[in-house]
Chain A
């Protein structure tokens, strides 16, 4: 038996199929994965993401600590409530995890880290945090619901008190705030508008049922995966891990190399990567399959004869692949040599199928982008 969230019994009552996800017993789907996907693109769906870990960081030097710990720069967080997406790197520039950091006040920031890496992350954060006298507290008392879709914010507001709803509806994109005993953030992992709500574990079942009653569909991790891939968002462990750095993971935009004097962990390794222009570079790209079939992680990508292939000595590999319910064709992320042409081939069970290189996202706010 794996670890269970406060909503586990409810998932079973709702007929969910339960799978192991990073050591957690989680719902992968309730009825139809494609139906759940469309519910989020067209109306609203709710996901249990309580397996992810909220970590409160407190201390007088917490901002300074995060400027050392994270590849993105929390100096960008000037207004309380503002959130930032960042990688946490090791000294070699490899990605330990990707996370969201919220600025609450000068002595209190909150991180939300992945389920599969939470124990490793906490040990790392506490070890580095000692040097800054920062205390890290795992908020195991909280459940986390992601309510996503064009109607999601209004549906959440509908289960709140009038004053709380007004506060929540006033949140700008990528802002969060405490509202009574909830923490509500206008963030997500689907490419749609919505809220991620952290609330006392004891209230989670009641709120989930109220959302269901308001027409919000229960959605599993299966739909979450197709939604995030369509939205062009990376999945830790698939698209990047400790053996890859952000520049070859489509995450250069999350690394703040300026100001040059900010000595964050992994910086020296990344500077070497940037300086070594002769070395073969790889990049994470989007692929759309032009033939019939389904792209899956670890399938080989063949790059046509040319400069890029010779430089890298090989083609590449799919890191995440699926069938896109919105586009009704298969899409993927692949790590391939930088400068590869726009047409590649993918080896699917020995057959070479044609795929086109595209720039993610594939879908944003319900609309095809490719």
Chain B
């Protein structure tokens, strides 16, 4: 069974969102997602300063087998892409909620965000998907 930390919010497309004390958010892919993708060998993260729309593909995670887009669950301005992942893409497999975070962004005030789920609801979604 996948690890679903209770203190994060989740999307239907298997991203997680953590709100940081300064109001920015940290975004990554869930344990379920990293497991489904398999060994990651390349991760492309957005550069700081880029503005992303809700649902815009803004990072790419590539396993040996395939490339997958990661969609921004929030509109805003990227403050930082995780610099570790260029050299250590496997951090997303090994620590998807920690060292394997993909990007941080400052949400646009008043902008819509994706329908974010609490951990319990995300866990139900995974059960419904057979994961």
Interface residues, chain A, CB within 8 Å of chain B? Answer: 28-29, 32-35, 37, 222, 226, 292-294, 296, 322-323, 325, 330, 349
Contact = CB atoms under 8 A, between A and B. Distances in A.
Given A294-B67, A323-B62, A325-B64, A32 B42 contact: no
Given A294-B42, A323-B41, A226 B67 contact: no
Contact of B64 (A222, A292, A293, A349): A222
A115 B39 CA distance: 26
Contacts of B41: 34, 294, 323
Interface string B27-49: 00000000000110110100000
Contact of A292 (B38, B42, B63, B65): B42
Contacts, number: 38
Given A35-B39, A323-B64, 17 more contacts: A28-B65, A29-B38, A33-B63, A33-B65, A222-B65, A226-B64, A292-B42, A292-B86, A293-B42, A293-B44, A293-B62, A294-B42, A294-B62, A294-B67, A296-B67, A323-B42, A325-B64
A322 B64 CA distance: 6
Contacts of B38: 29, 32-33, 222
Contacts of B118: none
Interface of B: 38-39, 41-42, 44, 60, 62-67, 86
B39 A34 contact: yes
Q: Is the interface of A mostly helix, strand, loop or mixed?
A: mixed
A34 B64 contact: yes
Contacts of A296: 66-67
Which A-B residue pairs are the 7 nearest by beta carbons?
A323-B41, A34-B39, A294-B62, A294-B42, A33-B64, A323-B64, A33-B38
Contacts of B66: 296
Nearest to B57: A349
B31 to A, nearest CB: 15
A200 B86 CA distance: 48
Contacts of B44: 293
A99 B71 CA distance: 43
